[in-house]
Amino acid sequence: MPVDSRELIEAISIIANEQNVRVTMKQSTKGAMVCAASAFAGGLLLGPVGLAVGGTAGSLMAYKMTSGSFRPLADVLLNDLTDAQQEQLIRHVNKALAEFQISDLAILLPMIMSNANIQQAVLKTAKSFVSNELKLQIID
């Protein structure tokens, strides 16, 4: 009995939410650069006080620039994947679950939700897929 792809993606999303896995759009580096540049400029202009003022201003600018760029993995899986990417993720998950020898696909979803080893295998596969295929950085 084939498992509905959407149901499997939703199960993976539930596991990712339980583990509080998030992804970033690689904004951390940009935020750090803005913060450092502001502290440097403040230090050049006002000395030690300028470091504090520039660092604070840079931190606030970095916050404003990067807010919203850290998203739950579940949100990415449910809303950002194309149909082809979803099918590719399903193939990767099925390969990862092959070692557990689940013969009846009807019991796959309950097994995913109740077995910690299967959850770890599925989550590891989803993280790998998102990192390698979507080029997103995982934050645990």
Longest dimension (CA), the chain: 70
Mean pLDDT of the chain: 83
Lowest mean per-residue pLDDT among 23-27, 70-74, 112-116, 122-126: 23-27
Four-residue CA torsion sign, 89, 95, 100, 103: positive
Q: Rounded distance, CA 11 to CA 53, Å?
A: 47
Hey, is 137 helix, strand or coil?
A: strand
In angstroms, rounded to a whole number, what is the distance separating the alpha carbons of residues 10 and 108? 13
Please choose, from the candidates 112, 126, 42, the residue with its C-alpha nearest in 3D space to the C-alpha of residue 78: 126
Contact 11, 110 (CB under 8 A): no
Compute the distance between CA of residue 91 and CA of residue 95 in angstroms, rounded to an integer: 6
Q: Taking the domains of the chain in order of start, what are their residue ranges?
A: 1-25+71-140, 26-68
Element holding 72 (H helix, E strand): strand 70-72
* pTM for the structure as a whole: 0.64
Percentage of residues in the chain having pLDDT higher than 70: 88
More confident residue, 83 or 102: 83
More confident call, 130 vs 111: 130
Confidence at residue 27, expressed as pLDDT on a 0 to 100 scale: 65
Residues 87-102: tens digit of each pLDDT: 899 888 888 877 776 6
Cβ–Cβ < 8 Å for 34, 61: yes
- pLDDT over 80 at 139, yes or no: no
Please give the residue that has the higher pLDDT: either 138 or 69.
Answer: 138
**Beta bridge partners of residue 70, listed in sequence order:** 24
For the residues 2-18, what does the mean pLDDT come to? Answer: 81
How would you list the strands of the sheet with 22-24, edge to edge? 70-72, 22-24, 137-139
